[in-house]
Structure 1
Amino acid sequence: MSAARFIVSGKVQGVWFRASTREQAIALGLRGHARNLADGTVEVLAVGEPAAIDALADWLGRGPPQARVDGLRRGQADGGSAPPGFLIG
């Protein structure tokens, strides 16, 4: 198991970004969360197989049709605190 933390910037709040991320993550067998941050970005924690996390990263770089992704930062994360399933916060 691997874990990664992503910060997605652009037009990513109010455009179904978190719900769409949850759908993608569940389809890839990942657990974690997607949540809005006060600065207008979205934080995503993904825990699972490295290839699945990479696939989610590719999707996060585009997002759903209503979104406009201007930036994507990826860092290491501790997956031990990730919830079962994939939550939206």
Structure 2
Amino acid sequence: MTRTRQDQAADKPLSHHVRESLNDYFRSLNGCQPPCGLYRMVLEQVEKPLLERVLDYSEGNQSRAAELLGINRGTLRKKLKQYQLDF
């Protein structure tokens, strides 16, 4: 049975995909200097879709989403406001 590329990708940890995305990003710079504040930029690029997907998964239940994320509900609400997410 031949495994699809998607099946093979699912076997790899999230850190592998993050590493690959960063490799692609640095390659795309073509020798140009990356922006200052790369750490913050990466966190913002990851955190917003993480919050969106977890809230979708929890059907908008913020208490459940906070539990899944391992943060308290107040912190979740603060982050939702920070990213202008309305759930």
Q: TM-score, normalised by structure 2?
A: 0.26
Q: TM-score, normalised by structure 1?
A: 0.26
* Higher Rg of the two aligned structures: 2
Q: Compare the two structures and name the one with the higher strand fraction.
A: 1
